[in-house]
């Protein structure tokens, strides 16, 4: 619940009303702004909160922290957001619709992953949120404020680009400080305040010992953290990350994504994270939004979307190894793959379907209804991956993951499976939309 706190800063002879909805850290700053501050500073030399030199500086720090607290709570609402680019080619004279009727709400303080294949409109969506692209239609709200027509510098957005975009001639400290030097009016900071902000942000992303190096003298992961620090230093209302990990090797990528999550949780900034790597999005995001051809296909908590894909596209996009897709048919509430009846599907009407089965949806069973041609078995520690083939499968091989304790008879040319109903999804043949069926046996 939000609280209204009135601070009387006597030296400034002003009564300042500051709305603050977090722990009352601000009180520490203000309370040491009176005569006690020197004593407090001497008593706690290691505590940076007490390193404030004057009442006026204490007041400014307090307000900026309060401001940060206020800014932290910032939902983003996209309403029918559309972006069309005029075509330049003579062969295709129509407009390019990069984003089409995109509507979604990103709750306060959440990390949302924007996912989709190359060219589906992820960067364009992000560029519209930060103000680099003007939408052709629709609106963008930060909290209750309509920011659709607001210029980028007034939106309070921190953006990290895919290629980091650090200034090569400036060292790390100067790169991080750069956005603060352009602050004007009430946001303008003194030299000491800038230095304090820069060192606090550098501490957050753990690059304090690199401050005097130029970007060319840093590894990819270190440059990445500098770019994140530069985006965070202005206390943005919203943090936008466009494929920030794509230039890193697999191990650094894993490590950096954990770091991004940690920083995001610590600062509580509403964040949109663009990636085409579904594993990345599934592992660190509070929710994901999956796009295809400029259209938002589905959004929700990662597990929810994985367990309940609304279309074949989303089912195929999420999951490693990928879902196995078969040509199937429903007859008398029974799913057939080829001529084999493999699963009762109560409530589904007779029709040709796409039957998609997650790798973990297969149960090895000597008399199981789905017979496949065994290709090979890969042991992966806890699990065993059985690679087989079936004429109705849309890919050459299908992959099922079963427990390592189950013994696979590799001498046999055939492997038989039963299916877990909760891991089987049916989709309409034409529209590729989900067909619900009763899963009372799951």
Ligand X SMILES: Nc1ncnc2c1ncn2[C@@H]1O[C@H](COP(=O)(O)OP(=O)(O)OP(=O)(O)O)[C@@H](O)[C@H]1O
Residues that bind Mg ion (CB under 5 A): 123
CA pair distance 212, 196, nearest whole angstrom: 16
Structure tokens at 268: 């509580």
Q: Which partner from the list ligand X, Mg ion, none does 96 bind, CB cut-off 5 to 8 Å by kind?
A: ligand X
Q: Which does 276 bind (CB under 5 to 8 A by kind): Mg ion, ligand X, none?
A: ligand X
Q: Which residue has the tokens 């509070």?
A: 286
**What residue 119 binds from Mg ion, ligand X, none (CB within 5 to 8 A, per partner kind)?**
ligand X
Q: Which helix (H) or strand (E) holds 399?
A: strand 398-403
CB 330 within 8 A of CB 346: no
- C-beta separation of 163 from 151 below 8 A: no
Bridge partners for 364 per DSSP: 417
Distances (CA, A) of 387 to 106, 320, 413: 40, 14, 12
Q: 361 contacts which partner out of ligand X, Mg ion, none, CB within 5 to 8 A by kind?
A: none
Per CB under 6 A, does 123 bind ligand X? Answer: yes
Partner whose binding site includes residue 98, from ligand X, Mg ion, none (CB under 5 to 8 Å by kind): ligand X
Q: What are phi and psi of 430, to 5 degrees?
A: -80, -55
Binding mask 134-173 for ligand X (x = CB under 6 A): ----------------------------------------
The site string for ligand X over 79-98 (x = CB under 6 A, - otherwise) reads ------x----------x-x
- Number of other residues whose CB lies within 10 A of the CB of residue 235: 20
Nearer to ligand X among residue 116 and residue 131 (C-beta)? 116
Q: Is 128 in the site for ligand X (CB under 6 A)?
A: no
Q: Taking contact as CB under 6 A, which single stretch among the options 120-128, 194-202, 348-356, 415-423 is the one that binds ligand X?
A: 120-128
DSSP 96-107: EEEEEEEEEEE-
Radius of gyration for the chain, computed over Cα atoms and rounded to the nearest angstrom: 27
Contacts with ligand X by CB under 6 A: the residue count is 12
Q: Which of 120, 210, 269, 342 binds ligand X (CB under 6 A)?
A: 120
* Closer residue to ligand X in complex, CB, 267/278: 278
Contacts of residue 319, Cβ cutoff 8 Å, sequence gap at least 6: 278, 306, 358, 359
Shortest reach from residue 276's CB to ligand X, in Å: 5
Comparing CB distances to ligand X, the nearer of 27 and 85 is 85
Nearest approach, Cβ of residue 124 and Mg ion (Å)? 8
Q: Of 276, 390, 423, 434, which lies in the binding site for ligand X, with binding defined by CB under 6 A?
A: 276
Q: Rounded distance, CA 328 to CA 437, Å?
A: 15
* Alpha carbon 417 to chain centroid, angstroms: 36
Of 60-68, 117-125, 307-315, 371-379, the segment contacting ligand X by CB under 6 A is: 117-125
Residues at the interface with ligand X (CB under 6 A): 85, 96, 98, 116, 118-124, 276
């Amino acid at each position: 619940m939000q609280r209204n706190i009135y601070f009387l800063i006597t030296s400034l002879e002003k009564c300042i009303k500051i709305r603050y909805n977090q722990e009352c850290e601000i009180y520490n700053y203000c309370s040491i702004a009176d005569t006690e501050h020197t004593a407090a500073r001497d008593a706690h030399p290691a505590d940076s909160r007490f390193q404030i030199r004057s009442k006026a500086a204490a007041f400014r720090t307090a307000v900026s922290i309060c401001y940060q607290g206020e800014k932290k709570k910032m939902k983003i609402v996209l309403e029918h957001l559309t972006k069309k680019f005029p075509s330049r080619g003579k062969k295709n004279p129509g407009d390019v619709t990069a984003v089409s009727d995109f509507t979604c709400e990103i709750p306060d303080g959440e990390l949302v992953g924007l996912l989709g294949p190359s060219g589906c409109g992820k960067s364009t969506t992000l560029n519209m949120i930060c103000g680099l692209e003007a939408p052709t239609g629709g609106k963008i709200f930060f909290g209750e404020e309509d920011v659709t027509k607001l210029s980028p510098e007034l939106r309070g957005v921190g953006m990290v680009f895919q290629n980091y975009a650090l200034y090569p001639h400036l060292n790390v400290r100067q790169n991080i400080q750069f956005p603060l030097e352009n602050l004007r009016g009430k946001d303008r900071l003194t030299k000491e305040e800038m230095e304090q902000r820069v060192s606090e942000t550098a501490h957050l992303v753990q690059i304090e010992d690199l401050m005097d190096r130029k970007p060319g003298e840093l590894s990819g992961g270190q440059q990445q953290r500098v770019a994140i620090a530069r985006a965070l230093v202005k206390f943005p209302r919203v943090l936008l990350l466009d494929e920030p990990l794509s230039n890193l090797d697999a191990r650094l990528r894993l490590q950096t994504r954990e770091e991004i999550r940690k920083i995001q949780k610590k600062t509580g900034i509403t964040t949109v994270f663009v990636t085409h790597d579904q594993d990345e999005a599934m592992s660190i995001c509070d929710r994901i939004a999956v796009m295809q051809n400029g259209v938002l296909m589905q959004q929700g908590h990662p597990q929810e979307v994985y367990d309940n894909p609304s279309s074949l596209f989303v089912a195929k996009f999420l999951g490693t190894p990928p879902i196995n897709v078969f040509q199937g048919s429903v007859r008398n509430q029974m799913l057939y793959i080829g001529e084999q009846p493999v699963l009762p599907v109560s409530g589904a009407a007779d029709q040709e379907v796409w039957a998609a089965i997650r790798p973990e949806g297969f149960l090895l069973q000597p008399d199981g209804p789905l017979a496949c041609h065994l290709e090979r078995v890969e042991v992966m520690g806890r699990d065993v991956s059985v690679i087989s083939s079936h004429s109705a499968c849309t890919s050459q091989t299908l992959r099922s993951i079963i427990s390592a304790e189950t013994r696979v008879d590799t001498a046999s040319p055939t492997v038989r499976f039963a299916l877990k109903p909760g891991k089987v999804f049916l989709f309409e043949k034409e529209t590729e939309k989900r067909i619900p069926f009763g899963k009372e046996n799951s």
